[in-house]
Amino acid sequence: MTENIIEVRDLVKHYPVTSGVVFKKTIGQVKAVDGVSFDLKAGETLGVVGESGCGKSTLARVLMNLEKPTAGSVLYKGQDISRLSGGALRRLRRQIQLVMQDPYTSLNPRMTVGDLIGEPFEIHPEVAPKGSRRSKVKELLDLVGLNPEHINRYPHQFSGGQRQRIGIARALALRPEVIVCDEPVSALDVSIQAQVMNLLEKLQSEFGLSYVFIAHDLSVVRHLSDRVAVMYLGKMVEIGTEDEIYERPTHPYTQALLSAVPVPDPTLRENKTIIRLTGDVPSPISPPSGCRFRTRCWKAQDVCAQEVPLLEIRPGSDHPSACHFAEKREIVASYEG
Amino acid sequence: MSDILVSEQSAPGADGSGRPSGRLLEVEDLRVEFRTRDGVAKVINGVTYHVEAGETLAVLGESGSGKSVTAQTIMGILDTPPGFVTNGQVRFHGKDMLKMSAEERRRIRGEGIAMIFQDSLSALNPVFTVGFQIAEQFRIRRGMSRADAKKRAVEMLDQVKIPNAKGRYSNYPHQFSGGMRQRAMIAMSLALDPEVLIADEPTTALDVTVQAQIMDLLGELQRERQMGMILITHDLGVVADVADRIAVMYAGRIVEEADVFELYRKPAHPYTLGLLNSIPRMDERGQELRTIKGLPPNLMNIPPGCPFNPRCPMAQPVCREKVPPLLQVGAGRASACHFAEELVNRD
Ligand SMILES: Nc1ncnc2c1ncn2[C@@H]1O[C@H](COP(=O)(O)OP(=O)(O)OP(=O)(O)O)[C@@H](O)[C@H]1O
Ligand SMILES: Nc1ncnc2c1ncn2[C@@H]1O[C@H](COP(=O)(O)OP(=O)(O)O)[C@@H](O)[C@H]1O
Ligand code: SF4
Ligand code: SF4
Ligand SMILES: [Mg+2]
Ligand SMILES: [Mg+2]
């Protein structure tokens, strides 16, 4: 068995909702992530999908140790990351890096590309001694397919896809083991998106990286991921290999999500069944009791309002799903059609 | 110009009435440039397309290709200066809107042609309730009483399937979710029953399940009203689901126009082919995606010849010298490539 590089256990992240200007009073909690467990294996890509506001970016921030969990833990090679300090914390910060969605705002516009990519070396001088930094940065530029001669340019002189490459070069600078990618290609046009996706795959095989790949585009996630986790309103509702999730989904939400993906083939128009969900996602401040999906689920029964369905393997299915009535359904539009 | 497919068929007065049959809106050889401090950006370089009653024309192209500027020119909301129309016509029922008085154009807006935008939050006025903004149109444009206008606005909200429309009438835009705001904007743009609806990336900011709801709704309303729809998008999935015809834009030009099935089956332009190849297909995991190398051109400095030539895998010396015109390559389709015939005739 491959080792787990990250283990997430019962992770909870709540944000207080306050009212009042002078005397802030907490009137509720946004349950952004509310009890999530999963493993990331060495060298694999775990895709995380789900609709806006379901807690993907919050999960990323807690994984990065940028925020402390409200409860639960993130173990990196067996160590609880929220308890690390001093040298151990610095070493951890080298090992897990983040690539963010917005190539326009995630880079400081007043720094040159050389400074941006070299900045991590200032914090971790042991990785590259001062004299070698410029050449290291040039190597990184070359690695991500940018012209090393452009080392003195500023972010605004690059296109969106090129800026995303700068972000990736920066994340690679410290030779991390894990890269958390939060919607790294969502802001890019298809032709540029494909270039960046190919780059991420090339780097993974070259450096044996593990990726947590967050995106709302299910085709992009399938293309890159070994395993996929589906989130809904702060919970993980289904997790499995890309085949298990895309070919044999058992959770009604996953089934609805997959059925709604527009397929780039007009000949499949007619024989495609979209499961139409009604209503909107409920507020994460007061999520529905029992199963959080029940207000939009066509299969909901009384038990769904009373008991929280656990993320577990049920009879007749081969992977964990958080539905009392998890079962296969022959609906999902597929390309093989 | 007689060899250009689209304008050949659209010669006005073909039926003697001065009104092209079926063609509600026609854009012909439109050119727009932005004159900025840094130089002149030629963003629209001869765009020709049309839409008929009841059909959906998808305008497909990557960011910056000129989709929205074309739409803004049609709607008469081009940012002038710096934007200037330097050539072309925008005909509505055969009459060039670019030559109309401001008053005439205003009358067409909303009733003749309406538009919905990608970003519903900035398109709706945050200080008025959603219902009021819809009702105002009935009051101002239809001269209805306050009470009647309100009643019609509630009906509109109901038609776009906003639950509890009556109660929602007095909500402000920020109290709506993204999907509901998009519905409200659809209600507002359809209030005056336009003949043509321009939808500029109407679902790009929405999640897939909500996107499916909104596209369904638009399709339904379009069929009911026999509206012509121009759907502007960069999403090859959405286009495959709803379009009748597709016009592909690159660097301010239409590079290919075809029926949706033909275009996906056998693209007649290397750019379209490249786009179709770069979408991740769910059944090809692990394979390297075929990409289009390089970047779209700087519109202040478009390369001579075919604007796609620096990125084109099929480029020949002639491509650097001659601009390929948009020519017919078979029934109902056109391509702006010197080698379109070869692309269409390959097996
Ligand atoms: N700092 C914060 N304070 C309060 N609420 C927050 C905070 N950060 C996130 N939230 C809320 O937590 C929930 C999850 O947010 P998160 O950003 O993780 O969603 P997401 O899945 O990344 O969505 P998207 O797809 O839109 O990026 C949302 O309801 C969000 O409004
Ligand atoms: N107000 C403006 N001033 C200067 N340039 C503009 C303005 N609006 C659009 N442009 C430029 O026109 C080109 C086409 O833009 P647009 O039509 O918005 O593209 P898209 O196809 O993404 O909708 C782009 O290069 C854009 O930067
Ligand atoms: S547990 Fe009940 S409500 Fe939840 S997804 Fe399953 S059937 Fe639907
Ligand atoms: S004209 Fe030449 S460069 Fe342009 S698309 Fe055709 S083959 Fe490519
Ligand atoms: Mg996010
Ligand atoms: Mg646009």
Spatial distance between the Cα atoms of B125 and B173, rounded to a whole number of angstroms: 7
Rg (CA), chain B: 21
Residue A166 is assigned to a structural domain of this protein: no
Rg (CA), chain A: 21
CB A260 within 8 A of CB A272: no
Decide if pLDDT at B38 tops 90.
no
ipTM: 0.82
Are the Cβ atoms of B281 and A201 closer than 8 angstroms?
no
Spatial distance between the Cα atoms of B290 and B293, rounded to a whole number of angstroms: 9
Decide if pLDDT at B19 tops 80.
no
Spatial distance between the Cα atoms of B137 and B110, rounded to a whole number of angstroms: 9
Number of domains present in the structure of chain A: 1
- Residue A214 Cα: closest atom of ligand 1: 22
Token duo for residue B89: 């016509």
Spatial distance between the Cα atoms of A63 and A60, rounded to a whole number of angstroms: 5
CB A8 within 8 A of CB A235: no
Kindly tell me the sign of the dihedral angle through the C-alpha atoms of B44, B48, B51, B56. Answer: negative
Angle at A70 between CA A64 and CA A74, to 5 degrees: 40
Residue A155 is assigned to a structural domain of this protein: no
Is there an atom of ligand 3 within 6 Å of A237 CB? no
Backbone φ and ψ for A298, nearest 5 degrees, come out as -80, -5
Spatial distance between the Cα atoms of A266 and A246, rounded to a whole number of angstroms: 20
B217-242 residue pLDDT tens: 999 999 999 999 999 998 999 999 99
Decide if pLDDT at B138 tops 90.
yes
Residue A58 is assigned to a structural domain of this protein: no
Residue A241 is assigned to a structural domain of this protein: no
Residue of A11, A49, A57 with the most ligand 1 atoms within 8 Å of its CB, for mutation = A57
What type of residue sits at position A76?
Y
Contacts of B162 in chain A (CB under 8 A): none
Angle at A249 between CA A225 and CA A191, to 5 degrees: 40
Backbone φ and ψ for A247, nearest 5 degrees, come out as -95, -30
Are the Cβ atoms of A267 and B209 closer than 8 angstroms?
no
**Which DSSP letter does residue A240 get?**
E
Spatial distance between the Cα atoms of A202 and B284, rounded to a whole number of angstroms: 16
- Residue B313 Cα: closest atom of ligand 4: 8
Residue A320: give the domain boundaries. 250-337
Three-class DSSP category at B121: helix
Query: If 0-12 CB within 10 Å is exposed, 13-18 middle and 19+ buried, where does residue A120 land?
Result: buried
Three-class DSSP category at B270: helix
Backbone φ and ψ for B274, nearest 5 degrees, come out as -60, -40
How far away is chain B from the Cα of A224, in angstroms, using its nearest Cα?
Answer: 7
Report pLDDT for B261: 96
What type of residue sits at position A263?
V
Kindly tell me the sign of the dihedral angle through the C-alpha atoms of A200, A201, A205, A211. Answer: positive
Residue A69 is assigned to a structural domain of this protein: no
* Domain B3-112+195-281+290-344 belongs in CATH node 3.30.300.30: no
Report pLDDT for A330: 63
Residue A316 is assigned to a structural domain of this protein: yes
H-run or E-run covering B213? helix B208-225
Angle at A185 between CA A183 and CA A186, to 5 degrees: 65
Report pLDDT for A220: 92
Enumerate the domain spans of chain B.
Answer: 3-112+195-281+290-344, 122-191
- Residue B69 Cα: closest atom of ligand 2: 17
Nearest residue to A7 (alpha-carbon basis) of A74, A83, A59: A74
- Which residues have C-beta within 8 Å of that of residue A200, sequence separation ≥ 6? A168, A181, A184, A211, A213, A224
Q: Residues lining ligand 4, CB < 6 A? A: B 269-270, 306, 308-309, 312, 314-315, 319, 324, 337-339
Of all protein residues, the one whose alpha carbon is nearest to atom 3 of ligand 3 is A294
Nearest residue to A167 (alpha-carbon basis) of A192, A190, A140, A138: A140
Spell out the per-residue pLDDT of chain A, length 337, in tens.
578 999 999 999 999 988 777 777 888 899 999 999 999 999 999 999 998 889 999 999 999 999 999 999 999 999 999 999 888 998 898 999 999 877 667 788 899 999 999 999 988 988 888 888 999 999 999 999 889 999 999 988 887 888 889 999 999 999 999 999 998 888 788 888 898 899 999 999 999 999 999 998 899 999 999 999 999 999 999 999 999 999 999 999 999 999 988 889 999 887 778 888 887 788 899 999 999 999 999 999 999 999 999 999 998 889 999 999 999 886 444 433 3
Backbone φ and ψ for A204, nearest 5 degrees, come out as -60, -45
Q: Which residues pair with A38 in a beta bridge?
A: A8
- Tokens 């008053």 -> residue: B103
Lowest model confidence (mean pLDDT) among A261-275, B69-83, B183-197: A261-275
Report pLDDT for B204: 79
Spatial distance between the Cα atoms of B314 and B295, rounded to a whole number of angstroms: 16
Nearest residue of B to residue A204 by CA position?
Answer: B286
Residue A265 is assigned to a structural domain of this protein: yes
Residue A57 is assigned to a structural domain of this protein: no
Of all protein residues, the one whose alpha carbon is nearest to atom 17 of ligand 1 is A57
Contacts of B283 in chain A (CB under 8 A): 334-336
DSSP E strand stretches across chain B: 23-36, 39-52, 56-60, 83-92, 95-96, 113-116, 196-200, 228-233, 245-250, 253-259, 327-328, 334-335
Helix locations, chain A, DSSP H: 56-63, 86-95, 113-123, 133-143, 160-172, 190-207, 218-224, 242-247, 252-260, 302-306
